[in-house]
Amino acid sequence: MALQTIAVIGGTGPQGKGLGLRFAQHGHHVLLGSRSPDRAEAAAAEINAKSPAAPRAQGGTNSDVAAAADLVLLAIPFAGHDEIVGCLTKALAGKIVISCVNPLAFDRSGPYALGVDHGSAAEAAAVLAPESQVVGAFHHVSASALWSDRPSLHHEDVLVCGDHEEAKSVVQELARSVTGRRGIDAGPLRMARQLEPWTAVLISINKRYKTQSGVRISGIDGSH
Ligand SMILES: NC(=O)c1ccc[n+]([C@@H]2O[C@H](COP(=O)([O-])OP(=O)(O)OC[C@H]3O[C@@H](n4cnc5c(N)ncnc54)[C@H](OP(=O)(O)O)[C@@H]3O)[C@@H](O)[C@H]2O)c1
């Protein structure tokens, strides 16, 4: 795919930093966003330290990085989601916006899915940013796997959902930077209602088996 400037909203957290690392290692220019520019610069320095031959990450405020990017990843907790996406509506207009947000909570029995207005976090983002092309992806790849030294997460698939076919195709290609394979088209954006809570199942399996589970879809060859 053509190299992109990708902003990560919430880029100081493990998921945003992990995906930012993979995107940077595949040649994309990565802008990590934060409520604090200092924290964002520190996170960008961590990415660049892991890829010293080609430092491609920079930090900034969430609004500055969203405005400067071609493509924007939302990697914020669901608790802050509506407020932050609502503030960025203008900066996100006309852009592909990827949501990997999983609206989950935890109690003594483990993780569980939260009820969400509009059906899912990705659909809520589409309502808050109506001039953007929102795509759901990267819900099931764990931050620790992303930050690991494994060259590619070949054993996992990235499931991609969205209502804009071209935007979805761009994100399917971007998934190669994580798994080495094109992401799988899981259907329209409303499939995020299934994809987001599924992460609770993976976390539960991880706890039971002390592992790092992921998703791999059978029945699809590499040429899709
Ligand atoms: N962790 C995983 O393995 C994983 C896997 C798949 C999907 N996800 C999803 O990816 C998203 C990010 O996960 P994470 O573990 O990286 O989350 P996190 O560490 O809790 O948060 C990421 C960043 O968001 C910012 N933030 C926190 N609360 C905020 C608020 N109320 N308003 C605005 N910004 C806020 C913080 O950055 P600043 O303080 O610097 O602004 C924080 O570093 C979540 O929705 C999660 O469900 C996570």
**Contact between residue 81 and residue 125 where contact means Cβ atoms under 8 Å apart:** yes
Residue 197 near ligand 1, beta carbon < 6 Å: no
- Ligand 1: which of 8, 15, 203 to mutate, most ligand atoms within 8 Å of CB? 15
Residue 36 near ligand 1, beta carbon < 6 Å: yes
Q: What is the DSSP letter of 26?
A: T
Query: What pLDDT is stored for residue 213 in this prediction?
Result: 94
Residue 93 near ligand 1, beta carbon < 6 Å: no
The Å distance, Cα 81 to ligand 1 centre, comes to 9
From 132, 148, 130, select the one nearest 18 (Cα to Cα). 148
Q: How far apart are CA 148 and CA 162, in angstroms?
A: 28
**Contact between residue 168 and residue 109 where contact means Cβ atoms under 8 Å apart:** no
Query: What pLDDT is stored for residue 223 in this prediction?
Result: 66
The Å distance, Cα 43 to ligand 1 centre, comes to 13
Query: What pLDDT is stored for residue 105 in this prediction?
Result: 97
| Residue-range domain boundaries for the chain | 5-209
Q: Domain 5-209, what fold?
A: Rossmann fold (3.40.50)
Residue 101 near ligand 1, beta carbon < 6 Å: yes
Residue that the structure tokens 């203008």 belong to:
90
Beta bridge partners of 9: 74
Residue that the structure tokens 């494994």 belong to:
150
Query: What pLDDT is stored for residue 55 in this prediction?
Result: 74
Query: What pLDDT is stored for residue 2 in this prediction?
Result: 86
Residue numbers in the chain where pLDDT is lower than 70: 222-224
Residue 44 near ligand 1, beta carbon < 6 Å: no
Q: Which two tokens stand for residue 216?
A: 């791999």
Query: What pLDDT is stored for residue 222 in this prediction?
Result: 66
Residue 203 near ligand 1, beta carbon < 6 Å: no
Residue 37 near ligand 1, beta carbon < 6 Å: no
Query: What pLDDT is stored for residue 1 in this prediction?
Result: 81
- Ligand 1: which of 9, 61, 62, 76 to mutate, most ligand atoms within 8 Å of CB? 76
Query: What pLDDT is stored for residue 160 in this prediction?
Result: 98
Query: What pLDDT is stored for residue 53 in this prediction?
Result: 77
